[in-house]
Amino acid sequence: MAKPSRTLTAFGKDLDALLKRSGNLSIREYADQANVSYKYVLQLRTMSARQPGRLYPNLLKPFVQLKVIDLVDSHRLSLRHRNRPLSIAECQELFPDIPEQELTESIRQALESDDSHDTILKTVASPPITYSPLNHRVFIGREAELDILQSAFDNAVSGKGSLVMVVGEPGIGKTALCERLSTYVSSRGGKTLVGHCYSEKSLSLPYLAFMEVLRSDIQMENISELREELGNTAMVLGRIVPEIAEKLKIYPRREADSEEDRYRLMEAVTNFLSRIATVQPLLVILEDLHNADKDTLEMLTHISRYLEEKLLLLVGTYRDVEVDRTHPLSATLAELRRLPNFGRILVKGLNADEVRQMISSITSQDVPRRLSELIHHQTEGNPLFIQEVTRYLVEEGLFSLQGETQQSAKDVSVEMRLPDGLRDVIGKRLSGLSEPCNKVLAVAAVIGRDFSLEVLQKVAGMTDEEIFKALEEARKAAVIEERTDVGATVDYHFTHAFFRQILYEEIIAPRRNRLHQQVAQALEEVYKTRLDEHAAELAEHFSYSSDAADLRKAVSYGEMAAQRAMDIYAYREAVRLLEQALKVQGVLDPDDRSKRCDILLALSEAHILAGEARRALDAELPEAFSLAEAIQDSSRATQASSRAIRALYAYGAATAYAAPEASEWAERFNRYASPETSDRVLADTALGSVRCQTGHPEEGIPLLQRALELSRHLSDHQAFRRAAIGWLGNAMTPRHTDEWMPVVEELIHTPRFGLSPEALAMDLFIQGNVFLHLGERERAEEVWGEITDIAERTRQPAVQLMAMATEARICAMDGRLEEAIQITHRLTVTGREFGMPERAGTMVATTGLRPRLQLGGGSNALRRNAEFAEMVSDKPLKTFCLAHLGHAAEVMEELWLMTTMRSNIDPDQDETSASQDVLMLEAAVLVNHQEAADFLLKRLSGSRIHTTGIWHNTCMDRHLGAAAALLGRPDDALKHYQEAIKVCTDMRFRPELALTRLQLAELLLEHYPDEESEALEHLDFAINEFREMKMQPSLERALRHKEILGA
């Protein structure tokens, strides 16, 4: 083998400097810690041809763990040694404690920074690097396939060689998968040799792929080692690899191409590869076997028969779309499949989440889910296509690498101009088809991605035989797929959306429009008994007409299709259909304000259910309301107001009702809702909720009560549900406790017919809150489990957020505090993706604050919550946060004001929620405000309420015990703590149980000296629990007591 150079590479110099800074760590120790082979590290230090590639995070890990380099250094080193920064996934692997937002920002800073004057390691200067994130390839979503290949190589290392075929369409990621495998092979001390097959039009030589494989190894050998390694096969191999003859000065004799000579050649190649594998486990990659010549395929078959007990893995790649049963490779595969060591991996497109990860990795920033779903729809998860479309978006100014998207995802056309890179790839496939075939496919492209034979026959203007011949040709070329149904129905499907798009764009506009009209008429005729099933297609085709009657049909079919989409939870499809209907209506009759108002109202509903409530509030609903007022239609004005109230809740949850915007819409609703109607129920519910959230529950609760009673009188199930949820969400006070369960039972037994997924989920969410307040965790989990089912079934954004929030709350009660916080991180990201950051933020605040405090890292969260509380006028939350932050004077003043203002209110008229009073009580205990503690203790004692439910959940009985202890009433405190222990044990409320037993131990030690042994039992229990839950502040507090006692 070639001796490595003594000159260090740039990587080697950086590595030696880092090893020195880490305390003279040896290279072998470093290799072990990095989980890479020692030999591989030596090659990286001295061989310039070697590159760290995708193994780089492993190489950085030891220095990150030793705190020799930080996140920024890691990015810059990565830029130096592989021309790109770490990806989000790599950052998360190296720095698991850093939030994703900070990781994304660090990548952006690394790209923008100029290291020419400030290198990371002062020991070496590196040339400046020109880097475009659009050019680097990323590896996403192939973990399962890679695991199979890595296992195959591990088996080869154990002497169980095999052949694996990696199969997929062009650009799907076959080569990237093989490159990743090669990196793994290097890390295991193995060796990779690669050969390529080329099409006949470019380069075609017998055994070309194996020539490249042999040549790449021979070039690394010195003459003596090569002569020894080849032995008596040198003369044979020299016939196909001239470099052997040149290097060894031998002159292979020209022989007739007899079968015996061919066999000797195949044996020589097999033996040569086997000898290499005895020195180092060997991976041989043969790319593009669909282009392989017959000789290469025969060589492959021969070698594959002798892989048993060899330290050799053969991996071949080919495009399945180019291999039919007449292709030479097809026969070879049939023979290879009979071998016991043959495997096949079909590489498919990335799913929507993986597409989003890939785009985020390419652009080093968060990508709106709507945009990633659009790109997934266009590209069907093909990585090459994704890269090209992302490049197109950046170059067209629709997406910025420096910040947020410059244009919203909904403004990016589904039929955006095809990027040139893709046009070349796709166009090449279509150019290979005959002219008649392209003509038929062009007509099919107008019909749609899916098209029926019957419709095609009606509009193609060709004989059936011509059509059948063209379809057969296209099917063999894998441009279309045939789908037969029951009976004689035959449908076809373009195998990729881009095939259809290119064909469609090549038709001139006048001909396209005429074809659309013909297709629309044919569809109506063919599907006259099932028009609703094909309404979307009909709306699309009729919209290209200039005839008024056709345009009216386009609007009507569009509305029909949108309703059908809503019925199956396809809300974004409904949005698309209604936006199209609105455009067509603008062409048909721009002065028809009633019709425009109706479409806007339907569109706002679709936006709300699609998780785009803010869009409805900013655009459709104000216009719809203005139109309704202009035509003096109170019914439509009421609908607009009602939807606006729903949109506000969908966007920002209950806290949105504290905004001036909510008051404005509630007043509009109140103005137009007729007396003694369901609209009146909803208007009173809206106005009552707004009054409660703006600090006037004494006005809000009576309105909510009135709405509840009217809904019962009207026997309107849906109105009752809205009123009941409004009342239960706001009347969570001790004086109403006995009324909660009857209302909940009514809700449970009220029919669900006609209820949207979000409305049903909200019902269940509030029911769970009631059960939790009353200490009935099992019933709360039962109804919350149904929310998760709805989220999985409908994928409705608001429901998904609710499901995540309930999961976090359950984790927190179980004491899985870190997991609860991780879920709130995901909740924040998901809310931002869905365009619902305010709603997600409210859920995060009410769910994640207490776990953060319990873990000891809640200062930032407290400050953020205090600012949020100030913004929405939530004085109890603000007071609670300030108390934990140590702002005693400000807290004292707020508590004094609260006590003074409420001391004159009749307790039977006090509508302040229990959860708010518990926050104030906790603050009072923290700052030793005895007057406030006494007032709140009297108000909250004796009720059936045990926890604060969804609002910063805690056990109320524990805080009553703390207040009684502060006021010098140890016997009362003891009773409250005992009740808290019972409640928390029954509810499996682990953190609260441990905190209660700690506080009980403190009470016993101070006031009941004879109960020291019991106090120690409580302390020991609490200490063990705090350790397991990582509740560091409480653990330190408990340990101090043990220290004092000397126990």
Same-domain check for residues 371 and 342: no
Last residue of a domain, one of 384, 417, 450: 417
CATH label of the domain that carries residue 285: 3.40.50.300
Amino acid 407: pLDDT = 44
Shared-domain flag, residues 99 and 24: yes
pLDDT of residue 175: 86
Q: Which of 351, 410, 355 is nearest to 573 (CA)?
A: 410
Mean pLDDT over residues 592-612, rounded?
93
Residue 619 has pLDDT above 60, yes or no: yes
Note whether residue 378 is domain-resident.
Answer: yes
The whole-angstrom separation of Cα 243 and Cα 594 is 82
d(CA 776, CA 988): 10
Residue-level pLDDT at 36: 67
Check whether 835 has a pLDDT greater than 80: no
CB-based burial of residue 820 (10 Å sphere; 0-12 exposed, 13-18 middle, 19+ buried)?
A: buried
CA angle 809, 813, 815 (to 5 degrees): 115
Give the dihedral sign, CA 624/625/631/633: positive
Provide the total of helices (H) and of strands (E) in the chain, helices listed first: 52, 8
Cβ-contact 536, 520 below 8 angstroms: no
Residues 74 and 196 in one domain: no
Half-sphere exposure of 288 (CA within 13 A, CB side): 14
Give dist(CA 689, CA 707) in Å, integer: 11
Looking at 616, 631, 656, the residue that finishes a domain is 656
On whether the CB atoms of residues 375 and 355 are closer than 8 A, the answer is yes
Residue 469 lies in a domain: no
Helices 27-34 and 56-65 sit at what angle, rounded to 10 degrees? Answer: 110
- Max mean pLDDT among 278-292, 444-458, 593-607 falls in 593-607
Task: Provide the token pair at 498.
Answer: 């881009």
Domain co-membership, 1040 together with 1014: yes
DSSP letter for each residue of 677-710: SHHHHHHHHHHHHHHHHTT-HHHHHHHHHHHHHH
How far apart are the C-alpha atoms of 34 and 22, rounded to whole Å? 14
**pTM for this predicted structure:** 0.64
Tell me if 610 sits within 8 A of 574, measured CB to CB.
yes
Q: Round to whole Å and give the CA distance between 372 and 352.
A: 7
Confidence of residue 54 (pLDDT cuts 50, 70, 90): low
Whether 270 is covered by a domain: the verdict is yes
Q: Which residues contact 729 (CB under 8 A, 6 or more apart)?
A: 654, 689, 766, 769
CA pair distance 504, 926, nearest whole angstrom: 71
How confident is residue 491, by pLDDT bands cut at 50, 70 and 90? confident
* Greater model confidence, 76 or 790: 790
Q: Helix, strand or coil for residue 119?
A: coil
In a domain, 159, yes or no: yes
Distance, in Å, from the CA atom of 78 to the CA atom of 62, rounded to the nearest integer, reads: 15
Share of residues in the chain with pLDDT > 90 (%) = 46
Same domain, yes or no, for 84 and 163? no
CA distances from 953 to 362, 759, 810, 813, 982 (A): 40, 23, 10, 9, 17
761: pLDDT confidence band, cut at 50, 70 and 90? very high
Domain shared by 371 and 406, yes or no: yes
Is 185 inside a domain boundary? Answer: yes
What SS3 state is found at 194?
strand
pLDDT bucket at 419, cuts 50 / 70 / 90: low
The mean pLDDT of 932-951, rounded to a whole number, is 93
pLDDT of residue 130: 38
Two tokens, residue 576: 């698309």
Residue 369: burial class (beta carbons within 10 Å; 0-12, 13-18, 19+): buried
If DSSP states are collapsed to H, E and C, what string results for 528-552? CCCHHHHHHHHHHHHCCCCCHHHHH
Which tokens hold the place of 631? 């035509």
Average pLDDT over residues 245-259: 61
Judge if 975 and 1040 occupy the same domain: yes
Those residues whose C-beta lies under 8 Å from the C-beta of residue 288, and which sit 6 or more positions away, are 196, 197, 198, 317, 318, 319
Domain count, the chain: 5
CA distance 785 to 806: 9
Q: Is 164 helix (H, G, I), strand (E, B) or coil?
A: strand
> Do 799 and 757 meet the contact criterion of CB atoms below 8 Å apart?
yes
Residues 167 and 257 in one domain: yes
Is 955 in contact with 983 (CB distance < 8 Å)?
yes
Burial of 885 (0-12, 13-18, 19+ CB in 10 A): middle
609 and 756 Cβ atoms separated by less than 8 Å: yes
Q: Indicate the SS3 state at residue 480.
A: strand
pLDDT, mean of residues 278-295: 88
Task: Phi first, then psi: give them for residue 317, nearest 5 degrees.
Answer: -120, 145
DSSP 511: H
For residue 612, give its domain range.
Answer: 592-656
The answer to the question of residue 533 being in a domain is no
- Residues 326, 186, single domain; the answer is yes
467 within domain boundaries:
no
Residue range 12-18: average pLDDT? 78
Can you tell me the distance from the alpha carbon of 1001 to that of 995, in angstroms, rounded to the nearest whole number? 10
89 lies in some domain? yes
Q: Which two tokens stand for residue 344?
A: 């096949």
93 in the same domain as 65:
yes
SS3 415: coil
43 and 169 belong to one structural domain = no
Is residue 655 within 8 A of residue 950, CB to CB? The reply is no
Q: Which residues pair with 193 in a beta bridge?
A: 284
| 303 token code pair | 């070698």
Residues facing residue 993 across a β-bridge: none
Dihedral sign, Cα of residue 59, residue 62, residue 65, residue 68: negative
Q: Could you say which of 402, 417, 432 is where a domain stops?
A: 417
Q: Does pLDDT of 360 surpass 50?
A: yes
Q: Are 1010 and 1022 in contact (CB under 8 A)?
A: no
Query: Going along 252-386, which residue ranges are E strands?
Result: 282-287, 312-318, 342-346
Q: Is the pLDDT of residue 497 over 90?
A: no
**How much is the pLDDT for 238?**
65
- pLDDT higher than 70, residue 420: no
Residues 398 and 271 in one domain: no
Q: Is 768 within 8 Å of 778 (Cβ atoms)?
A: no
